[in-house]
Amino acid sequence: MKIKTGWNYTIITILFSVFLLAACTATTRQVDPEEPLTYDATYTFSDKKKIVNDLVQSLTTNPPLGDGTDRPVVIVYGVANRTSEHIDTSGITDEIRKEIILSGKARFVNKTQRENIALETDYQLNGPVAPETQIALARQVGAKYMLTGTLRSIEKEAPKQVRLKKKSYIYYSLNLELTSIETSLIEWADSVELVREASKPIIGW
């Protein structure tokens, strides 16, 4: 049976158009924050979760925070970013602070709000606020410990050679330490390491 050539081309064109449209449809889906997602070797929110979980576990189960029930006061002085990516490390410290507060092992001084607190205090004491509702001065709590850290990375790329893919490795390490403000002794220190390998095609469409 002869199939007309014209019909063949029409069927192929229709099928091709259907596949093309299907491939080009935009889709969205809800993603669980716990689900590890990586498109390349660089830092992602999955890394932040692992870092926070491991360090909070270590902080809350080892001295000095893991020891007693006195809930010492801590101030966060931030994690220095020494990688070659723009990483907002305040996200890491905010998450660590939240988890420790929820664990009940320590209390935190709100360093970022100091200016606003000073503004509000000034307003209360010099403004139209009823005296019986004004806060008392010089009642802020001093921190006993300081939380600081450094995020570092080492990157390695596969050497230039005949290949179809470009491989790279990135090693991250976050060192965190708790320092006594009174004695300047480092009372606790720990680190988390991550290594990721990524490969990218050299040729594409």
CA-to-CA dists, residue 183 to 61, 79, 176, angstroms: 22, 21, 18
Residue owning tokens 């009174």: 182
Residue with Cβ nearer other proteins (181 or 198): 198
Residue with Cβ nearer other proteins (64 or 149): 149
Please give the residue ranges that form the binding site for other proteins (CB under 8 A).
Answer: 78, 80-86, 90, 111-113, 115, 155, 166, 200-205
Residue owning tokens 């450094």: 150
In the complex, minimum distance from the CB of residue 43 to other proteins, in angstroms, rounded to a whole number? 12
CB neighbourhood size of 144 (10 A): 19
In the complex, minimum distance from the CB of residue 167 to other proteins, in angstroms, rounded to a whole number? 13
Residue with Cβ nearer other proteins (10 or 112): 112
Residue 83 class from Cβ within 10 Å (0-12 exposed, 13-18 middle, 19+ buried)?
A: buried
CA 36, 40, 45, 48 torsion: positive or negative? positive
Residue with Cβ nearer other proteins (63 or 201): 201
Dihedrals phi, psi of 69, to nearest 5 degrees? -115, 15
In the complex, minimum distance from the CB of residue 94 to other proteins, in angstroms, rounded to a whole number? 10
Measured between alpha carbons, how far apart are the two ends of the chain, in Å?
39
Residue with Cβ nearer other proteins (14 or 80): 80
In the complex, minimum distance from the CB of residue 161 to other proteins, in angstroms, rounded to a whole number? 15
In the complex, minimum distance from the CB of residue 50 to other proteins, in angstroms, rounded to a whole number? 22
